């Protein structure tokens, strides 16, 4: 199973330095949705990482994918500018939907 990141150039470069092979730079929501669609055509991906900034703009697409398919999981991480308050809620909801366990943080 593979891991991919779809994010801004700064975040992508950090993951490249960390050795991640499947890194994709996007500049807007439309590019992100196109890249997600392309990644969904390949069943090898177990995890797609996105920055909060991009994920919040395509939340409907992300929710649709995570509801309909077991894999890939799509999670959002903070960008260089900091975390979004929605990000923690999104990860908690994803864990609750997939495992039935509710995290209290």
How does residue 7 score in pLDDT terms, banded at 50, 70 and 90?
Answer: very high
- Whole-model pTM: value is 0.75
Are 13 and 38 in contact by the 8 Å Cβ rule? The answer is no
24-80 confidence digits (pLDDT tens): 999 999 999 999 999 988 888 989 999 988 888 888 888 888 888 888 888 888 876
- Choosing among 3.40.50.300, 3.40.50.10580, 3.50.50.60, 3.40.470.10, the CATH entry for 2-99 is 3.40.50.10580
25 CB-side CA count, 13 A: 8
- Give yes or no for residue 90 having a pLDDT over 80: no
Cβ count within 10 A of residue 50 = 28
Cis, peptide link before residue 95, omega less than 30° from 0? no
For position 91, what pLDDT does the model report? 65
């Amino acid at each position: 199973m593979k891991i991919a990141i779809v994010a801004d150039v700064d975040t992508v470069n950090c993951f490249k330095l960390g050795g991640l092979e499947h890194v994709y730079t996007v500049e807007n929501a439309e590019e992100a949705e196109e890249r997600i669609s392309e990644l969904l055509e390949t069943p090898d991906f177990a995890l797609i990482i996105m920055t909060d900034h991009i994920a919040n703009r395509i939340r409907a697409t992300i929710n649709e994918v995570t509801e309909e398919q077991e894999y890939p999981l799509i999670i959002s991480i903070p960008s260089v500018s900091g975390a979004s308050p929605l990000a923690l809620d999104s990860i908690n909801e994803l864990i609750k939907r997939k495992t039935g366990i509710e995290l209290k943080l």
